[in-house]
Amino acid sequence: MYLIDRVIHDRIVEKKIRLDEKRPLPASFVNRLRKELMIEYTYDSNAIEGSTLTLNETRLVIEEGITIGKKPLSDVQGAKNHPKAIRFIEDIVYNSDKITEEKILHLHEIILKGIDPSAGNYRTSGVFITGALFTPPRSNEVPQKVRDLLEWLNNNIEEFSPIELAARFHHSFVKIHPFSEGNGRTARLLLNAILMKEHYPFIINITNRDRAKYLETLQEADLGNLEPFVNFIARSTERVLDIYLNALEEPEILTLKEASLISPYSADYLGLLARKGRIGAFKKGNKWMITKPALLEYVNEMKEKKKR
Ligand SMILES: Nc1ncnc2c1ncn2[C@@H]1O[C@H](COP(=O)(O)OP(=O)(O)OP(=O)(O)O)[C@@H](O)[C@H]1O
Ligand SMILES: [Mg+2]
């Protein structure tokens, strides 16, 4: 039985094929996008953990290596460490065949270097997870449980789709909670190692905006229902595919009449928004036109506004 919703699954497969058809991707494009996604990923993963750095501050720390006054040094250090951890994940993906216990410990060491004395070591005492209804295993059981999980991973690569495999691994890993700190950040990167090994694009980002959903679906998984979490990861995967495809493919250009057919707005209303400069429309001759991404951006923006 598939846990991924059939519709989402088919959409992802179709998008992945479309992206793979464009390979090899232009190097300059990949480098630019990689840099941008790395900054966003660093921002989000550290923000989920509670870092106070904004996206722009994260960018400054990574690109200029500077320290942000008034912000905790550990937050700045966290932002500096993450790109190194991401590079290590890429190294695992491209230069070795398996994720090993040693590599997991090294990954943890990179993530928490200069922040936490436990960097690179399993926890040596009990731990609680805020919001979870269960207690993770005793610390003396951790190393064996991690090894068992890795064995499970290697034995089940053919058994599950990559997204389901990565999601199941992620959940099991955070359930073991091998470390006193940095479990989520390590697990989110390991999820990427699994997906990138299966040629999913750099890098599946669990955003801080989705934090509540991430934690809720993990909680549901604790109760034995993995479906919401697997689908949550599937949607995060689809988002990165969209980023690549939107950047690589010529955007579809619509007349306002066409735009009205795929949005909740009439052509007249879209014309009004265009004249007021409220949507990213432009004139071709004397006719208003809009790209599909610009239209969808407006539709989503309005949806978000309604929610608030
Ligand atoms: N109900 C739950 N079941 C399983 N795992 C959970 C649950 N709630 C949270 N977690 C995991 O525990 C992580 C938090 O653990 P920890 O503080 O060690 O990680 P972190 O990397 O320091 O922080 P964060 O993951 O918040 O960035 C969460 O990110 C999530 O991955
Ligand atoms: Mg933490």
Q: How many CB atoms lie within 10 A of CB 108?
A: 25
CA of 302 from ligand 1 middle (Å) equals 32
Q: Output the CA angle 142-93-23, nearest 5 degrees.
A: 150
| Active-site residue identified among 82, 108, 177, 199 | 177
pTM, rounded to two decimals? 0.86
**Which phi and psi angles does 173 have, rounded to 5°?**
-65, -50
pLDDT tier, 67 (very low <50, low <70, confident <90, very high otherwise): confident
> To 10 degrees, what angle do helices 27-49 and 73-95 make?
130
| Nearest atom within ligand 1 for CA of residue 174 | 5
Q: Is-catalytic flag, 177?
A: yes
| DSSP annotation of 2 | -
Cβ 47 under 6 angstroms from ligand 1: no
| Nearest atom within ligand 1 for CA of residue 185 | 21
Mean pLDDT lowest among 40-44, 49-53, 130-134, 174-178: 130-134
pLDDT attached to residue 253: 94
Of 180, 195, 201, 35, residue with least CA distance to 111? 180
Of 242, 248, 252, residue with least CA distance to 28? 248
CA of 130 from ligand 2 middle (Å) equals 10
Question: Is pLDDT at 97 greater than 90 in this prediction?
Answer: no
- What spatial distance separates the first Cα and last Cα of the chain, rounded to whole Å? 37
Cβ 279 under 6 angstroms from ligand 1: no
Of 165, 171, 226, residue with least CA distance to 197? 165
Question: Is pLDDT at 184 greater than 90 in this prediction?
Answer: yes
Which residue's CA is the nearest one to ligand 1's atom 28? 184
CA atoms within 13 A on the CB side of 133: 8
Cβ 49 under 6 angstroms from ligand 1: yes
- pLDDT tens-digit readout, 104-122: 999 999 999 999 999 999 9
Could you give the CA distance from residue 217 to residue 124 in angstroms, rounded to a whole number?
A: 28
| DSSP annotation of 210 | G
Could you give the CA distance from residue 191 to residue 169 in angstroms, rounded to a whole number?
A: 7
Choose the residue to mutate in 172, 215, 233 for probing ligand 1, maximizing ligand atoms within 8 Å of C-beta.
215
Could you give the CA distance from residue 123 to residue 221 in angstroms, rounded to a whole number?
A: 23
- pLDDT tens-digit readout, 222-256: 999 999 999 999 999 999 999 999 889 888 899 99
Could you give the CA distance from residue 2 to residue 58 in angstroms, rounded to a whole number?
A: 38
DSSP β-bridge partners for residue 291 = 253
Contact 140, 178 (CB under 8 A): no
Q: Residue 126 is encoded by which pair of tokens? A: 């009990």
Of 284, 289, 232, residue with least CA distance to 255? 289
DSSP β-bridge partners for residue 253 = 291
Mean pLDDT lowest among 104-108, 144-148, 174-178, 250-254: 250-254
